[in-house]
Chains A and B, each alone.
Chain A
Amino acid sequence: MAVRRNQNKMTAPERERFVRALLRMKSDRAQPHNYDQYPTVHDRAFPNDVDSNPAHLGPAFCPWHRYFLARFEQDLQAADRLEGGDGTLMLPYWDWVNDNASSPNRQRGQIWDDAFMGGDGTPVSSGPFAAAAGRWRTVGGAGALVRTLAVDTPTLPRRDAVERALASHGFDTAPFDDTPPASAGLPSPAAPSAVGAAGGTLAPGLYQVLVTYVNAGGETRPSPPLAVCVGGGCAPANAFTAITVSSPPAPARGSATGYRVYVSPVNGSADDARLEGAFTALGTPTTIRALRSGVRRPATNTTSSFRNQLEGWVGPLVGEANVHNRVHVWVGGSMSPGTSPDDPVFFMHHCNIDRLWAQWQLAHPGQNYPEVVPRIGLPGNRPHGLNDPMPPWTAGEIATPAQMLDHTRIVVRGRAAGYTYDTDPLLLGLNVGP
């Protein structure tokens, strides 16, 4: 399995080889591995409304860029072969938490070295991508690469921002932006009141019952659980085969219109939670007669979701760019607009973002990737759902989030393109269930 490594572990010949392949991609304008398709595709992923953006501000941020990078890596390898390499060249990642502005010997000594990514300037004045070298014309702007390191924001993402994202328990949830918790203003309900009932098909056993409040913005985190025992194994034994749940009281604040009930076997995991009772109006009891698989209770809200923190719309620096966004802003210049892949450091930055997603996946099996993502302003869905083809790869060459969940097994243009990171545990075994 090919390994993506930290750029600060690359030898000088490895860095030179990487740069040569990048320059070859750039100069081979008419070839399938041409570099300029990448800033162009990324820029087109920023149409003028959020609902049409297939790559940002939603859960597909992670899988869209995973495919984008793997596809780029495949083209980089084609260029490497043309330069005399064996085509095994892999993308390196830039771990900006450790190789950052406060560690000048590492940061300045490596990534911005003139023999690697080069320096900064308006335009960049040194290194292989400098305007004066005449080998790197950008797709966006006036045609020259621009970098303004640490000017637009003075610091790279802090360790606590990354650790906070990695500790999130939910991947992403509605409404997928930085609004207050989906059920703005609603408290979570108290533990429900429920009793055994007849008329159902529940197997004998102990069940956990939770409820959430629902309003137009979504639903709250679940209530504390209530255990209900059904069938002959209970003490005392009973003949119940269903569970009737009373409506939680209308909350003192917020605008709850109803509630949902989640019932699961007590020894099942959170990811095995099953829902029978759909939306129920407040004041009306509901009876759970059977379980339905594939429905997971909410465990997070938008503002604490992993994706939202990783992308950088929320984080410890309130009102500022965090994590992913912050790196774009810190590098500045050509990394600022939608054509940001004009700067090759884009790929090393996003390689680190992808590595962090892989780390989070390993720590949070069961992932909870949303199956459907509603639009914000219009009826219908955004192309961010688990099995939605992600534009522009929607016909012929197709990529979906589901296909990107396991980075060791992804396929690009019909060819295996799986990889690991040098930080992945040995014998990596991801649970990639949605």
Chain B
Amino acid sequence: MSSGRGTRRMTIGGHRVRILGDERPRPFRGFFSGDELPGEHHAEAGAEAVAAGDRPPSGLVVVEVDGARFELHARPSGWFHSHTLPFQRFDTVEDAAREIVRKIDQGVLRGGA
């Protein structure tokens, strides 16, 4: 499965999952704006093209489960934080997607139609 600044689609536990945004962890290189390395924002080969209006801002990844939208933020130390499940840390966006699906199935989060 490719990983980059595009869109991925998959099925987790029978739910339609779409992931948009840059899934690469962002290692610490200062905490001021404009810290990205040159070329960091370029799309990678293998990722589905994303319409400009769909593209999340740098550092933001969107996980859509059956159309319901959940946002993740790449933390400076290389993991992902979700304001949906705010007490956990996720090493990958897929880990977060699986956990979001599990919480939807438990009735803890509201999924899409």
A376 to B29, alpha carbons, bound, how many Å? 12
Are A337 and B103 in contact (CB-based, < 8 A)? yes
A319 contacts the other chain (Cβ, under 8 Å)?
yes
Are B86 and A141 in contact (CB-based, < 8 A)? no
A137 to B80, alpha carbons, bound, how many Å? 31
Given A179-B28, A179-B77, A336-B108, A48:B89 Cβ within 8 A: no
Considering the complex, give the chain A residue whose CB is closest to the CB of B86: A46
Are B103 and A180 in contact (CB-based, < 8 A)? no
Are B108 and A333 in contact (CB-based, < 8 A)? yes
B81 contacts which chain A residues (CB < 8 A)? 50, 57
A216 to B30, alpha carbons, bound, how many Å? 6
Residues 8-27 of B, flagged 1 when their CB comes within 8 A of A and 0 if not, give 00000000000000000000
Are B83 and A334 in contact (CB-based, < 8 A)? no
Given A48-B71, A177-B75, A177-B76, A376:B108 Cβ within 8 A: no
Q: Which DSSP category, helix, strand, loop or mixed, fits chain B's interface?
A: loop
B79 contacts which chain A residues (CB < 8 A)? 319
Given A46-B86, A49-B73, A180-B28, A377:B59 Cβ within 8 A: yes
Are A378 and B87 in contact (CB-based, < 8 A)? no
A252 contacts the other chain (Cβ, under 8 Å)?
no
Are A336 and B77 in contact (CB-based, < 8 A)? no
Are B109 and A337 in contact (CB-based, < 8 A)? yes
Considering the complex, give the chain A residue whose CB is closest to the CB of B62: A48
A143 to B79, alpha carbons, bound, how many Å? 31
B41 contacts the other chain (Cβ, under 8 Å)?
no
Partner of A56, one of B77, B85, B86: B86
A57 to B91, alpha carbons, bound, how many Å? 18
Given A319-B89, A329-B88, A379:B106 Cβ within 8 A: no
Most buried by B among A177, A325, A377: A377
Given A142-B107, A337-B109, A175:B84 Cβ within 8 A: no
A178 contacts the other chain (Cβ, under 8 Å)?
yes
A333 to B87, alpha carbons, bound, how many Å? 12
A285 to B76, alpha carbons, bound, how many Å? 34
Considering the complex, give the chain A residue whose CB is closest to the CB of B34: A377
Residues 164-188 of A, flagged 1 when their CB comes within 8 A of B and 0 if not, give 0000000000110111100010000
In the assembled complex, the CB of B36 is this many whole angstroms from the nearest CB of chain A, namely: 11
Are A337 and B108 in contact (CB-based, < 8 A)? yes
B77 contacts which chain A residues (CB < 8 A)? 177-180
B106 contacts which chain A residues (CB < 8 A)? 122, 141, 146, 148, 333
B33 contacts which chain A residues (CB < 8 A)? 377-379
B83 contacts which chain A residues (CB < 8 A)? 46-48, 53, 338
A319 contacts which chain B residues (CB < 8 A)? 79, 89, 91
A49 contacts which chain B residues (CB < 8 A)? 73
A179 to B25, alpha carbons, bound, how many Å? 13
Are B87 and A50 in contact (CB-based, < 8 A)? no
A140 contacts the other chain (Cβ, under 8 Å)?
yes
A217 contacts which chain B residues (CB < 8 A)? 28, 30-31
Are A122 and B28 in contact (CB-based, < 8 A)? no
Partner of B87, one of A179, A184, A336: A336
In the assembled complex, the CB of B66 is this many whole angstroms from the nearest CB of chain A, namely: 14
Considering the complex, give the chain B residue whose CB is closest to the CB of A56: B86
A379 to B85, alpha carbons, bound, how many Å? 27
In the assembled complex, the CB of A293 is this many whole angstroms from the nearest CB of chain B, namely: 28
B84 contacts which chain A residues (CB < 8 A)? 337-338
Counting from the closest, the 6 A-B pairs by CB-CB distance are A142-B107, A328-B87, A325-B87, A175-B31, A46-B83, A216-B30
A: residues with CB less than 8 A from B are 46-50, 53, 56-57, 122-123, 140-144, 146, 148, 174-175, 177-180, 184, 216-217, 312-313, 319-321, 324-325, 328-329, 333-334, 336-338, 340, 376-379
B: residues with CB less than 8 A from A are 28, 30-33, 59-60, 71, 73, 75-77, 79, 81, 83-89, 91, 103, 106-110
Beyond known contacts A56-B86, A141-B107, A146-B107: 14 more, CB 8 A cutoff: A46-B86, A48-B83, A53-B83, A140-B110, A177-B31, A179-B28, A217-B31, A319-B91, A321-B89, A325-B87, A328-B87, A336-B108, A337-B109, A376-B31
A-B contact pairs, 7 of them (CB 8 A): A122-B106, A142-B110, A217-B30, A328-B87, A329-B87, A337-B85, A376-B31
